[in-house]
Amino acid sequence: MTIENNIVQAVSEIITSVYGHQVSERELLLQKTRKEFVGDITLVVFPFVRLSKTSPEQTATLLGDELVKRLEDVTSYNVIKGFLNLSLSPDYWLRFLKSQMNNESFGMWPVGGQTVVVEFSSPNTNKPLHLGHVRNNLLGYSVSRILEAAGNRVARVNLVNDRGIHICKSMLTWIKFGNGETPQSSGKKGDKLVGDYYVMFETELRKQAGTLAQERGIGEDEARKIAPLMLEAQELLRKWELKDPETMSVWEMMNAWVYEGFDKTYARMGVHFDKIYYESDTYLLGKELVLEGLEKGVLIRKEDSSVWADLTDMKLDQKLLLRSDGTSVYMTQDLGTAQLRYDDFKADKMIYVVGNEQNYHFDVLQKVLKKLDKPYADAIYHLSYGMVELPEGKMKSREGTVVDADELMDEMIATARRMTEELGKTDDFSAEEKEKLYNIIGMGALKYFILKVDPRKNMLFNPAESIDFNGHTGPLIQYTHARIRSILRTADDARIEKTDLDVVNAGDMNEKEKRLLKILYAFPEVVQESAVEYSPATLANYLYDLAREFNQFYHDYSILNEPNLAISDFRLQLARLTARVIKSGMGLLGIEVPEKM
């Protein structure tokens, strides 16, 4: 039973005994004591004032006196208005360290939660992955790892948008201008080759639209719709939906190029999926669901034969589900995917990691599923994240101004190489060890810089700021882990006698050691909080605070040169648990930590 549970039970008993009332668990609010106040755990007293009919301070004082009497681990308290700040005994913190110093799974919760499907990545097969996809993949993968650590059963899935007009644009340009070019003949990565043809389509379309607009005196947007190249792309889409053999052959070939390229990028990012869905499969099931809704009378067919969902009774507008020519829209395939995913996993929660520009889309998806009376409609959750911008502005795929994911990773590793060598941190490393370390630092810097930001916020990505061994960065946390591992190796090599900590006098514990133990103690709750909030940022910032606190402690107190062997070993175990938490926590962010650097 945890100290928090003991406090809750004791407070409940005190209130029943003194005031003759029972209180619910939701009224017993415990939180970490704020840094500016003395204490370890704070009880919010305001809910009990109605029972005590005294001031919050008087109520808190009564509860504090009783808790000190009843609980051996509560040694003192102070009252700040309606907040009761409780201080725990040094013995409690020492017992915590002893109980966890050999626990390799500290912070990980037993399986017993929900079944959760996390969809992330969701690329189009008309371009390579870019910086926006990097945030999506890192966020989705980390959320899935954190949910697992919090005790949930998690399936990582990817929905590949492998059909639609955007795919046909790349296909058409390759057919017209490609001259049989392949990744092998060009030496290009397959996804990059296809992306080049997507950009080429936009370039050619802009030329045609400009000429048409000038000749006919119409706006450029209208000219784009009637330009020959756009009409050809729409015709190619119709051929695809009719399964025209020649069209399907080109589609399968170019998609294969893209998948091979994606797989290489995913491997570099360190992400993987348990199942991959393809829009070309799911849109047909989506059509069936739409027709089913039409038969039940919950959807409407208009005069032009298009099918719509009328959501005006749900405070939205009408939403197109099938075009007049029978072709589907994005919403159609998302309906089919949701059904297929529920059939596959019977998930309690289906999380879609998709940018905030799609907020309306997922609001509509959930409401259409409710119209269709699907039992999983309420399981839909859109993890809406903000856009990634660069110092020079927004990215545009069709204009070829995106930051390519592979090139970004190359740049991060190159920057890590340059900064690490300037600091002389790898002078005694072999060439192979150096390259491995540069990759760990570069990728760690990229991942941490992105994940430390609240997912719901837009962010400005500046590679130069992300690799700073003294800043709020991944490399600082990685260096802290490497420093601790070096201390532990030195201790092992010196054969320093180990104690079982039973001879340690808890009363000798200094404030920095206690502060470090308190932060370590919070790790399991931070994991759970990050899972509930779907926010790796909560965990990322905790790990920075932990690393910073350890470095401050290490600056002030010696570990290996401490003359009292019992205290030295206590500090070694404190360092060992710190390294373990850093490694576990960074692993949940998808970040590797080096043994030395």
pLDDT digits (tens, 9 = 90+) for 19-78: 999 988 788 999 999 989 999 999 999 999 999 999 999 999 999 999 999 999 999 999
59 and 193 both lie in a single domain: no
Range 109-135 average pLDDT: 93
Q: Based on the domain organization, do 248 and 287 belong to the same domain? A: no
Q: Are residues 62 and 165 in the same domain?
A: no
Q: Spell 423-436 as b/e; 16+ CB within 10 A means b.
A: eebbeebeeeebee
d(CA 439, CA 445): 10
Mean pLDDT of 82-106: 94
Which pLDDT tens digit goes with each residue over 460-478?
A: 888 778 888 889 999 999 9
Residue 32 belongs to domain spanning: 3-88
Residues 508 and 446 in one domain: yes
- Which band of pLDDT confidence, cut at 50, 70 and 90, is reported for residue 397? very low
Do residues 173 and 304 share a domain?
Answer: no
- pLDDT at residue 134 greater than cutoff 90: yes
Q: How confident is the model at residue 497 (pLDDT cuts 50, 70, 90)?
A: low
Question: In the predicted model, what is the mean pLDDT of residues 154-163?
Answer: 95
Residues 341 and 354 in one domain: yes
- Does some domain include residue 577? yes
d(CA 56, CA 43) in angstroms, rounded, equals: 12
58 with 133, same domain? no
State mean pLDDT over 539-559: 97
Measure CA 24 to chain center. 33
Statement to judge: residues 284 and 414 lie in one domain? no
Quote the CA–CA distance of 163 and 158 in Å, as a whole number.
15
Burial class (CB in 10 A: 0-12, 13-18, 19+), 265: buried
Q: How many domains does the chain have?
A: 4
CA dihedral 432, 435, 437, 441 (to 10 degrees): -170
Q: Are 367 and 412 part of one and the same domain? A: no
pLDDT recorded at residue 400:
47
Query: Each residue of 138-153: pLDDT tens digit?
Result: 999 999 999 999 999 9
Average pLDDT, the chain: 93
On whether both 435 and 509 belong to a single domain, the answer is yes
Residues 66, 154, single domain; the answer is no
For residue 393, is pLDDT > 80?
Answer: no
Q: Do 132 and 48 belong to one domain?
A: no
Strand pairing category for 388-389 and 459-460: parallel
What CATH number does the domain containing 15 carry? 3.30.1360.70
Confidence of residue 597 (pLDDT cuts 50, 70, 90): confident
Per-residue pLDDT tens over the stretch 309-342: 999 999 999 999 999 988 788 899 899 999 999 9
CATH code, domain carrying 449:
1.10.730.10
Which range has highest mean pLDDT (225-229, 462-466, 501-505)? 225-229
Cα separation, 333 vs 282, whole angstroms: 5
Q: Is residue 107 part of a domain?
A: no
Q: Which letter does DSSP use for residue 34 in this model?
A: P
Domain stops at, among 224, 241, 272 = 272
C-alpha–C-alpha distance, residues 553 and 183, integer Å: 54
